[in-house]
Structure 1
Amino acid sequence: MRHRKAGNKLGRNHSHRRALLRNLVTSVVIEDRVETTVAKAKAVRPLVEKMITLGKRGDIHSRRQAAAFLQTPESVSRLFATVAPRYGDRQGGYLRIVRTGFRQGDGGEKAMIELLGAEQELGAKQQKRAEAKAKKREELERQLAEQGGNEEGGSEENA
Protein backbone atom coordinates (compact mmCIF):
# COMPACT_ATOMS: atom_id res chain seq x y z
CA MET A 1 0.00 0.00 0.00
CA ARG A 2 1.20 3.51 -0.82
CA HIS A 3 -0.48 5.38 2.00
CA ARG A 4 0.95 8.91 2.41
CA LYS A 5 3.35 8.43 -0.50
CA ALA A 6 2.62 11.52 -2.57
CA GLY A 7 4.28 12.34 -5.88
CA ASN A 8 5.19 10.43 -9.00
CA LYS A 9 8.19 8.11 -9.12
CA LEU A 10 8.86 8.81 -12.82
CA GLY A 11 10.61 5.45 -13.14
CA ARG A 12 13.66 6.60 -11.19
CA ASN A 13 15.15 6.11 -7.75
CA HIS A 14 15.07 8.88 -5.16
CA SER A 15 18.36 10.61 -5.96
CA HIS A 16 17.88 10.46 -9.73
CA ARG A 17 14.33 11.80 -9.44
CA ARG A 18 15.47 14.66 -7.17
CA ALA A 19 18.28 15.60 -9.57
CA LEU A 20 15.90 15.49 -12.54
CA LEU A 21 13.36 17.75 -10.85
CA ARG A 22 16.02 20.18 -9.65
CA ASN A 23 17.40 20.44 -13.18
CA LEU A 24 13.93 21.00 -14.63
CA VAL A 25 13.09 23.70 -12.07
CA THR A 26 16.39 25.46 -12.78
CA SER A 27 15.73 25.30 -16.51
CA VAL A 28 12.22 26.71 -16.15
CA VAL A 29 13.49 29.60 -14.03
CA ILE A 30 16.27 30.42 -16.50
CA GLU A 31 14.50 29.77 -19.82
CA ASP A 32 10.83 30.54 -18.93
CA ARG A 33 9.75 27.64 -21.16
CA VAL A 34 10.82 23.98 -21.26
CA GLU A 35 9.55 21.05 -23.33
CA THR A 36 9.33 17.77 -21.45
CA THR A 37 6.89 14.91 -20.86
CA VAL A 38 3.47 15.50 -19.32
CA ALA A 39 4.30 13.46 -16.20
CA LYS A 40 7.50 15.42 -15.56
CA ALA A 41 5.71 18.71 -16.16
CA LYS A 42 3.04 17.80 -13.63
CA ALA A 43 5.67 16.70 -11.12
CA VAL A 44 7.74 19.88 -11.49
CA ARG A 45 4.82 22.33 -11.23
CA PRO A 46 4.57 22.47 -7.38
CA LEU A 47 8.33 22.81 -7.07
CA VAL A 48 8.50 25.79 -9.44
CA GLU A 49 5.58 27.42 -7.67
CA LYS A 50 7.35 26.95 -4.34
CA MET A 51 10.49 28.59 -5.74
CA ILE A 52 8.48 31.56 -7.01
CA THR A 53 6.83 31.89 -3.59
CA LEU A 54 10.30 31.97 -2.02
CA GLY A 55 11.29 34.61 -4.55
CA LYS A 56 8.25 36.71 -3.69
CA ARG A 57 9.13 36.53 -0.01
CA GLY A 58 12.55 37.92 -0.88
CA ASP A 59 14.36 37.66 2.48
CA ILE A 60 17.81 36.15 3.01
CA HIS A 61 16.43 32.87 4.37
CA SER A 62 14.28 32.42 1.26
CA ARG A 63 17.28 33.18 -0.94
CA ARG A 64 19.34 30.52 0.86
CA GLN A 65 16.54 27.96 0.57
CA ALA A 66 16.25 28.65 -3.17
CA ALA A 67 20.03 28.47 -3.57
CA ALA A 68 20.04 25.09 -1.82
CA PHE A 69 17.56 23.72 -4.37
CA LEU A 70 18.40 25.47 -7.65
CA GLN A 71 21.51 24.36 -9.51
CA THR A 72 23.16 27.65 -10.52
CA PRO A 73 23.69 31.05 -8.89
CA GLU A 74 22.41 32.70 -12.09
CA SER A 75 19.05 30.97 -11.67
CA VAL A 76 18.78 32.20 -8.07
CA SER A 77 19.51 35.79 -9.04
CA ARG A 78 17.09 35.58 -11.99
CA LEU A 79 14.39 34.13 -9.73
CA PHE A 80 14.65 36.97 -7.23
CA ALA A 81 15.32 39.80 -9.72
CA THR A 82 12.96 39.15 -12.64
CA VAL A 83 10.71 36.09 -12.23
CA ALA A 84 9.25 36.59 -8.74
CA PRO A 85 8.47 40.35 -9.08
CA ARG A 86 6.42 39.49 -12.18
CA TYR A 87 3.90 37.73 -9.90
CA GLY A 88 3.76 40.18 -7.00
CA ASP A 89 -0.04 40.44 -6.92
CA ARG A 90 -0.80 36.87 -8.03
CA GLN A 91 -1.78 34.24 -5.44
CA GLY A 92 -0.48 31.16 -7.24
CA GLY A 93 -0.92 29.48 -10.60
CA TYR A 94 2.31 30.80 -12.10
CA LEU A 95 2.70 28.05 -14.70
CA ARG A 96 0.96 26.80 -17.82
CA ILE A 97 1.26 23.22 -19.09
CA VAL A 98 0.44 22.88 -22.80
CA ARG A 99 0.37 19.45 -24.40
CA THR A 100 2.34 19.54 -27.64
CA GLY A 101 1.90 16.10 -29.16
CA PHE A 102 3.74 12.83 -29.08
CA ARG A 103 7.44 12.01 -29.25
CA GLN A 104 8.62 10.40 -32.48
CA GLY A 105 10.71 7.61 -30.97
CA ASP A 106 8.55 6.07 -28.25
CA GLY A 107 5.24 7.93 -28.55
CA GLY A 108 5.58 9.58 -25.15
CA GLU A 109 3.28 12.55 -24.69
CA LYS A 110 5.18 15.84 -24.68
CA ALA A 111 4.19 19.06 -22.96
CA MET A 112 5.48 22.60 -22.80
CA ILE A 113 5.76 24.02 -19.28
CA GLU A 114 6.03 27.80 -19.26
CA LEU A 115 5.77 30.68 -16.86
CA LEU A 116 2.76 32.93 -17.31
CA GLY A 117 3.48 36.46 -18.42
CA ALA A 118 6.78 35.54 -20.06
CA GLU A 119 5.41 35.91 -23.59
CA GLN A 120 6.93 39.36 -24.12
CA GLU A 121 10.34 38.21 -22.92
CA LEU A 122 10.19 35.04 -25.01
CA GLY A 123 9.11 37.09 -28.04
CA ALA A 124 12.05 39.44 -27.53
CA LYS A 125 14.44 36.48 -27.25
CA GLN A 126 12.99 34.97 -30.42
CA GLN A 127 13.32 38.26 -32.31
CA LYS A 128 16.91 38.69 -31.11
CA ARG A 129 17.71 35.15 -32.26
CA ALA A 130 16.14 35.80 -35.66
CA GLU A 131 18.14 39.03 -36.09
CA ALA A 132 21.38 37.24 -35.16
CA LYS A 133 20.56 34.46 -37.63
CA ALA A 134 19.83 36.97 -40.41
CA LYS A 135 23.08 38.84 -39.67
CA LYS A 136 25.05 35.59 -39.77
CA ARG A 137 23.39 34.64 -43.07
CA GLU A 138 24.27 38.03 -44.61
CA GLU A 139 27.88 37.64 -43.47
CA LEU A 140 28.04 34.15 -44.98
CA GLU A 141 26.53 35.31 -48.28
CA ARG A 142 29.00 38.21 -48.42
CA GLN A 143 31.92 35.84 -47.83
CA LEU A 144 30.64 33.46 -50.51
CA ALA A 145 30.28 36.36 -52.97
CA GLU A 146 33.86 37.47 -52.22
CA GLN A 147 35.18 33.95 -52.69
CA GLY A 148 33.24 33.58 -55.92
CA GLY A 149 34.69 36.88 -57.18
CA ASN A 150 38.22 35.86 -56.19
CA GLU A 151 37.98 32.48 -57.95
CA GLU A 152 36.71 34.02 -61.19
CA GLY A 153 39.39 36.72 -61.08
CA GLY A 154 42.13 34.16 -60.49
CA SER A 155 41.12 32.04 -63.47
CA GLU A 156 41.23 35.05 -65.83
CA GLU A 157 44.79 35.87 -64.78
CA ASN A 158 45.97 32.33 -65.53
CA ALA A 159 44.33 32.27 -68.97
Structure 2
Amino acid sequence: MNHRNKNNALKRKRGHRKSMLSNMASSLIKNKIIFTTLSKAKTLRKYIEPIITKSKIDNLSSRRNIFSYLRDKKAVSELFKDSFHKVRERPGGYTRILKNGHRLGDDATLSLIELVDFNKIYHSKKRVKITRRSKKLGKKEIINE
Protein backbone atom coordinates (compact mmCIF):
# COMPACT_ATOMS: atom_id res chain seq x y z
CA MET A 1 0.00 0.00 0.00
CA ASN A 2 1.08 3.55 -0.70
CA HIS A 3 -0.61 5.38 2.18
CA ARG A 4 1.01 8.56 3.51
CA ASN A 5 3.76 8.36 0.93
CA LYS A 6 3.54 11.75 -0.74
CA ASN A 7 6.99 12.37 -2.15
CA ASN A 8 7.74 11.71 -5.81
CA ALA A 9 10.63 9.24 -5.90
CA LEU A 10 11.55 10.19 -9.49
CA LYS A 11 12.82 6.61 -9.99
CA ARG A 12 15.92 7.38 -7.93
CA LYS A 13 17.23 6.32 -4.57
CA ARG A 14 17.17 8.73 -1.65
CA GLY A 15 20.77 9.92 -1.88
CA HIS A 16 20.62 10.55 -5.61
CA ARG A 17 17.28 12.35 -5.33
CA LYS A 18 18.56 14.52 -2.48
CA SER A 19 21.70 15.50 -4.41
CA MET A 20 19.75 16.18 -7.58
CA LEU A 21 17.21 18.42 -5.84
CA SER A 22 20.00 20.26 -4.02
CA ASN A 23 21.83 20.93 -7.30
CA MET A 24 18.65 21.99 -9.08
CA ALA A 25 17.69 24.32 -6.22
CA SER A 26 21.08 26.01 -6.19
CA SER A 27 20.95 26.38 -10.00
CA LEU A 28 17.49 27.93 -9.73
CA ILE A 29 18.70 30.42 -7.13
CA LYS A 30 21.75 31.38 -9.21
CA ASN A 31 20.11 31.52 -12.66
CA LYS A 32 16.50 32.39 -11.64
CA ILE A 33 15.14 30.01 -14.32
CA ILE A 34 15.87 26.40 -15.31
CA PHE A 35 14.42 23.96 -17.84
CA THR A 36 13.56 20.44 -16.69
CA THR A 37 10.81 17.83 -16.84
CA LEU A 38 7.44 18.54 -15.27
CA SER A 39 7.71 15.95 -12.50
CA LYS A 40 11.15 17.21 -11.45
CA ALA A 41 9.87 20.79 -11.48
CA LYS A 42 6.92 19.93 -9.24
CA THR A 43 9.19 18.10 -6.82
CA LEU A 44 11.67 20.98 -6.87
CA ARG A 45 8.88 23.41 -5.99
CA LYS A 46 8.10 21.45 -2.83
CA TYR A 47 11.82 21.39 -2.01
CA ILE A 48 12.74 25.03 -2.58
CA GLU A 49 9.73 26.96 -1.28
CA PRO A 50 10.43 26.14 2.42
CA ILE A 51 14.09 27.04 1.85
CA ILE A 52 13.16 30.47 0.52
CA THR A 53 10.75 30.97 3.43
CA LYS A 54 13.55 30.16 5.88
CA SER A 55 15.80 32.72 4.16
CA LYS A 56 13.53 35.57 5.23
CA ILE A 57 15.18 35.49 8.65
CA ASP A 58 18.80 36.53 8.17
CA ASN A 59 20.85 35.07 10.99
CA LEU A 60 23.62 32.51 11.31
CA SER A 61 21.31 29.69 12.29
CA SER A 62 19.10 30.04 9.22
CA ARG A 63 22.16 30.36 6.96
CA ARG A 64 23.56 27.12 8.30
CA ASN A 65 20.20 25.40 8.03
CA ILE A 66 19.81 26.46 4.40
CA PHE A 67 23.41 25.44 3.65
CA SER A 68 22.58 21.94 4.88
CA TYR A 69 19.93 21.74 2.15
CA LEU A 70 21.73 23.47 -0.72
CA ARG A 71 25.41 22.63 -0.04
CA ASP A 72 26.56 25.57 -2.18
CA LYS A 73 28.09 28.70 -0.64
CA LYS A 74 27.41 30.92 -3.63
CA ALA A 75 23.73 29.97 -3.74
CA VAL A 76 23.31 30.61 -0.02
CA SER A 77 25.01 34.00 -0.24
CA GLU A 78 22.89 34.86 -3.30
CA LEU A 79 19.74 33.96 -1.36
CA PHE A 80 20.59 36.45 1.40
CA LYS A 81 21.61 39.35 -0.88
CA ASP A 82 19.62 42.55 -1.37
CA SER A 83 18.47 41.40 -4.80
CA PHE A 84 16.10 38.99 -3.05
CA HIS A 85 14.26 41.80 -1.20
CA LYS A 86 11.18 41.27 -3.40
CA VAL A 87 11.02 37.67 -2.23
CA ARG A 88 11.09 38.68 1.43
CA GLU A 89 7.93 40.76 0.96
CA ARG A 90 5.98 37.96 -0.76
CA PRO A 91 3.95 35.70 1.60
CA GLY A 92 4.49 32.56 -0.51
CA GLY A 93 4.35 31.14 -4.02
CA TYR A 94 7.89 32.00 -5.00
CA THR A 95 8.10 29.77 -8.08
CA ARG A 96 6.18 29.43 -11.33
CA ILE A 97 6.05 26.32 -13.53
CA LEU A 98 5.26 26.71 -17.24
CA LYS A 99 4.82 23.72 -19.54
CA ASN A 100 7.06 23.87 -22.56
CA GLY A 101 6.28 20.93 -24.86
CA HIS A 102 7.48 17.34 -25.07
CA ARG A 103 10.94 15.81 -25.38
CA LEU A 104 11.52 13.96 -28.63
CA GLY A 105 13.18 10.81 -27.28
CA ASP A 106 10.77 9.71 -24.56
CA ASP A 107 7.89 12.20 -24.93
CA ALA A 108 8.44 13.55 -21.41
CA THR A 109 6.67 16.82 -20.65
CA LEU A 110 9.26 19.59 -20.51
CA SER A 111 8.73 22.68 -18.40
CA LEU A 112 10.55 25.64 -17.02
CA ILE A 113 10.56 26.64 -13.39
CA GLU A 114 11.37 30.20 -12.48
CA LEU A 115 11.41 32.52 -9.52
CA VAL A 116 8.33 34.73 -9.86
CA ASP A 117 9.82 38.07 -8.81
CA PHE A 118 12.70 37.94 -11.29
CA ASN A 119 10.66 37.67 -14.50
CA LYS A 120 10.95 40.93 -16.43
CA ILE A 121 8.08 40.22 -18.83
CA TYR A 122 5.35 40.04 -16.19
CA HIS A 123 6.71 42.95 -14.15
CA SER A 124 6.98 45.78 -16.67
CA LYS A 125 7.02 49.39 -15.50
CA LYS A 126 4.02 50.68 -17.45
CA ARG A 127 0.61 49.10 -17.55
CA VAL A 128 -2.09 50.23 -19.94
CA LYS A 129 -5.60 50.15 -18.58
CA ILE A 130 -8.42 50.57 -21.07
CA THR A 131 -11.77 51.76 -19.81
CA ARG A 132 -14.66 52.02 -22.25
CA ARG A 133 -17.43 54.52 -21.83
CA SER A 134 -19.29 53.65 -24.98
CA LYS A 135 -18.90 51.31 -27.88
CA LYS A 136 -17.29 53.97 -30.09
CA LEU A 137 -14.93 55.73 -27.71
CA GLY A 138 -12.24 54.08 -25.67
CA LYS A 139 -10.22 55.93 -23.08
CA LYS A 140 -6.65 54.83 -22.40
CA GLU A 141 -4.94 55.52 -19.09
CA ILE A 142 -1.26 54.87 -18.45
CA ILE A 143 -0.54 53.82 -14.91
CA ASN A 144 3.06 54.12 -13.64
CA GLU A 145 3.99 51.84 -10.82
Q: TM-score, normalised by structure 2?
A: 0.78
Q: Which AA in structure 1 matches 2:92? A: G
User: How far apart, CA to CA, are the structure 2 residues paired with 1:94 and 1:57?
Assistant: 16
Aligned to 1:20: 20
Aligned to 2:51: 51
User: How far apart, CA to CA, are the structure 1 residues paired with 2:3 and 2:27?
Assistant: 32
Aligned to 1:127: none
SS of aligned partner of 1:114: strand
User: How far apart, CA to CA, are the structure 1 residues paired with 2:73 and 2:3?
Assistant: 37
Measure how far apart 1:71 and its partner are. Answer: 2.8
User: How far apart, CA to CA, are the structure 1 residues paired with 2:67 and 2:4?
Assistant: 28
* Structure 1 residues not aligned, in runs of 5+: 121-159
Aligned to 1:7: 7
Measure how far apart 1:62 and its partner are. Answer: 0.7
SS of aligned partner of 1:56: coil
Percentage of identical aligned residues = 35
Measure how far apart 1:117 and its partner are. Answer: 1.6
More helix by share: 1
CA shift digits 1:127-153 (9 cap, x unpaired): xxxxxxxxxxxxxxxxxxxxxxxxxxx
* Structure 2 residues not aligned, in runs of 5+: 121-145
SS of aligned partner of 1:112: strand
SS of aligned partner of 2:113: strand
CA shift digits 1:43-84 (9 cap, x unpaired): 010221111111111121110011111132110000111464
User: How far apart, CA to CA, are the structure 2 residues paired with 1:82 and 1:34?
Assistant: 22
More strand by share: 2
Aligned to 1:97: 97
Kindly report which structure 2 residues correspond to 1:129-140, keeping only aligned pairs within 5 A, or say none: none
SS of aligned partner of 2:98: strand
Larger Rg: 1
Q: TM-score, normalised by structure 1?
A: 0.71
Q: Please identify runs of 4+ aligned residues in structure 1 that moved more than 4 A.
A: none
Structural RMSD (CA): 1.6
User: How far apart, CA to CA, are the structure 2 residues paired with 1:66 and 1:93?
Assistant: 18
Q: How many residues align?
A: 121
User: How far apart, CA to CA, are the structure 2 residues paired with 1:22 and 1:92?
Assistant: 20
